[in-house]
């Protein structure tokens, strides 16, 4: 999939002008500027806090961009979205925010578009699926910061001892889980549909069943026949057969499931790159395959992206654009992705990681990223819809539960949230 910017980039380059397109026009063109940057912390301790990355990036940027300073503030993921919302409400919006969602701010007219800020070469370098996911009303406001994809993880030691091959289909998952249960594995297949991040687990299963949260034109389609069939299968073939472990899926959070996997209590589960490293550090031999589907491996995985954006309030468009053009250089994109076992969001940085031997463990995730499907984050109704999924989807596989009924209830809530926009 090629974007229209690529042809334009070539034309401009032929004229020898591509390097100077960022920040043309008005907005902080003269005098010293201090950019206020708020970002999320991807670390789990002071030793690997994201603040180290941002502080070094800011110092290096300032050294090559005289007259522009960057004031960095990093908050935990629990707090960062709320902090930015409070700042915006008080009329003290940061210039740059690296957070989980952008659509509400784009709808309110508070953000610069990518066209307003970025050099063409920077904008054209985003992976197309990610650039598309950053659009609100067909205009890109959300710049992808980092991404990850999901694969099915399995405990290679358990599979080898049981003489099992890696699953390719749903029936393989069920049959392998039966054997693992017989051999005493606590969670033959861990199915976290608790409130922590069940919107992710749900989307993975919907995609592998040929469905998803939206239809081909981007409208919600949560209770589609394909989605109902997927949860009917999950309930009948994994949950009702006692193949998902001692904790009911609706009570099992992702963190619990991941901890159980790294402790050697799980045979299979859907996972992301960080889990791979954590499991191997604890001696768990990890196998990874594309998400199994009804008749074979799923062609497209689920992707997740976090976003960075530029706010208009302080009229620092040009300086923001220069910072983004610098930030999205390969060395900076790769450095952050490498630190936290995440995936780069640009074509060129992806190529760097794909050809570097030290990133070999991430290659399966990198291969899955270009064809991944993302949450419908361009909808301002998505935040409410996501909460409805997290609060209710576990009920679909409870004893006596109705997948069709639960999905229909979520669909009605999504439609109401959409109508309220």
Helix (H, G, I), strand (E, B) or coil at 243: coil
Other Cβ atoms less than 10 A from the Cβ of 48: the count is 14
Residue pair 193/203 in contact by the 8 Å Cβ criterion: no
Residue pair 284/262 in contact by the 8 Å Cβ criterion: yes
pLDDT of residue 2: 30
Question: Pairing mode, if any, of strands 266-271 and 68-76?
Answer: unpaired
User: Percent of the chain, pLDDT > 90?
Assistant: 83
Cα separation values, 99 from 85, 249, 323, Å: 10, 29, 17
23-43, pLDDT tens digit by residue? Answer: 433 444 445 999 999 999 998
Task: For the chain, report the end-to-end CA distance as a whole number of angstroms.
Answer: 31
Residue predicted with more confidence, 167 or 15: 167
Exposure b/e, 239-270, CB count within 10 A at least 16 = b:
beeebbbebbbbebbbebbbebbbebbbbbbb
> Stretch 121-134: mean pLDDT, rounded?
96
Exposure b/e, 282-302, CB count within 10 A at least 16 = b:
eebebbbbbbbbeeebbebbb
Residue 184 DSSP code: T
pLDDT at 360 over 60: yes
pLDDT of residue 290: 94
pLDDT at 335 over 80: yes
298-333, pLDDT tens digit by residue? Answer: 987 899 999 999 999 999 999 999 999 999 999 999
> Stretch 90-104: mean pLDDT, rounded?
96
pLDDT at 12 over 50: no
pLDDT at 233 over 50: yes
pLDDT at 5 over 50: no
Rounded Cα–Cα distance for residues 365 and 343 (Å): 8
Q: Which domains does the chain have, with CATH numbers?
A: 4-147+305-370 (3.40.190.10), 151-300+381-419 (3.40.190.10)
pLDDT of residue 179: 98
pLDDT of residue 46: 86
Nearest to 380 by CA among 197, 111, 83, 196: 111
Question: Pairing mode, if any, of strands 266-271 and 187-189?
Answer: parallel
| CA-atom Rg of the chain in angstroms | 22
The DSSP code sequence of 280-311 is HHTTPPEEEEPPBBSSSB-SS-EEEEEEEEEB
The helix/strand count (H/E) of the chain reads as: 19, 12
**Neighbouring-strand partners of residue 304:** 148
Rounded Cα–Cα distance for residues 245 and 265 (Å): 9
* Helix H or strand E encompassing 33: strand 33-41
pLDDT of residue 18: 37
Token look-up 């992206």 returns 305
User: Residue 235, CB half-sphere, CA atoms under 13 Å: how many?
Assistant: 20
The pTM for the full model equals: 0.84
pLDDT of residue 78: 86
Please report which confidence band the pLDDT of residue 1 belongs to, taking 50, 70 and 90 as the band edges. Answer: very low
pLDDT at 6 over 50: no
pLDDT of residue 45: 82
51-74, pLDDT tens digit by residue? Answer: 999 999 999 999 999 999 999 999
User: Average pLDDT of the chain?
Assistant: 91
Rounded Cα–Cα distance for residues 136 and 323 (Å): 22
Rounded Cα–Cα distance for residues 182 and 241 (Å): 12
Rounded Cα–Cα distance for residues 93 and 82 (Å): 12
| Range 82-87, long-range pairs (CB < 8 A, 24+ positions) | 83/38, 84/38, 87/38
3-state secondary structure 118-167: CCHHHHHCECHHHHHHCEECCEECCEEEEEEECEEEEEHHHHHHHCCCCC
pLDDT at 231 over 80: yes
Rounded Cα–Cα distance for residues 279 and 23 (Å): 45
């Amino acid at each position: 999939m090629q974007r229209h910017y690529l042809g334009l980039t070539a034309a401009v380059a032929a004229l020898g002008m591509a390097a100077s397109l960022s920040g043309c026009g008005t907005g902080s063109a003269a005098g010293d500027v201090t950019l206020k940057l708020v970002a999320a912390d991807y670390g789990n301790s002071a030793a690997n806090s994201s603040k180290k990355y941002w502080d070094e990036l800011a110092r290096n940027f300032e050294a090559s961009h005289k007259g522009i300073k960057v004031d960095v503030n990093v908050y935990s993921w629990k707090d960062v979205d709320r902090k930015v919302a409070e700042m915006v409400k008080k009329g003290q919006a940061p210039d740059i925010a690296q957070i989980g969602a952008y659509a509400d701010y784009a709808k309110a007219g508070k953000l610069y578009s990518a066209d307003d800020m970025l050099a063409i070469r920077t904008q054209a370098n985003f992976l197309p699926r990610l650039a598309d996911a950053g659009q609100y009303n067909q205009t890109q406001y959300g710049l992808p910061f980092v991404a990850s994809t999901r694969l099915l993880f399995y405990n290679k030691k358990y599979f080898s001892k049981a003489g099992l091959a890696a699953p390719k289909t749903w029936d393989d998952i069920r049959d392998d889980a039966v054997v693992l249960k017989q051999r005493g594995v606590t969670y033959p297949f861990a199915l976290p549909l608790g409130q922590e991040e069940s919107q992710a687990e749900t989307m993975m299963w919907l995609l592998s069943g040929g469905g998803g949260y939206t239809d081909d034109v981007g409208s919600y389609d949560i209770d589609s026949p394909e989605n109902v069939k997927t949860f009917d299968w999950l309930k009948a073939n994994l949950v009702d057969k006692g193949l998902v472990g001692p904790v009911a899926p609706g009570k099992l959070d992702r963190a619990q499931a991941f901890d159980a996997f790294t402790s050697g209590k799980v045979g299979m589960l859907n996972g992301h790159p960080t889990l791979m490293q954590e499991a191997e550090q604890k001696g768990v031999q990890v196998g990874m395959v594309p998400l199994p589907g009804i008749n074979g491996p799923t062609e497209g995985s689920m992707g997740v992206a976090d976003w960075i954006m530029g706010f208009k309030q302080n009229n620092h468009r040009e300086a923001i654009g220069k910072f983004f053009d610098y930030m999205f250089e390969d060395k900076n994109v790769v450095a952050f992705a490498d630190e936290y076992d995440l995936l780069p969001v640009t074509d060129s940085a992806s190529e760097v990681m794909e050809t570097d031997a030290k990133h070999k463990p991430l290659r399966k995730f990198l291969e899955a990223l270009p064809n991944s499907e993302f949450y419908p984050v361009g909808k301002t109704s998505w935040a409410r819809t996501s909460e409805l999924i997290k609060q209710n989807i576990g009920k679909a596989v409870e004893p006596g539960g109705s997948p069709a009924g639960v999905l229909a209830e979520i669909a009605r809530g999504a439609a109401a949230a959409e109508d309220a926009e």
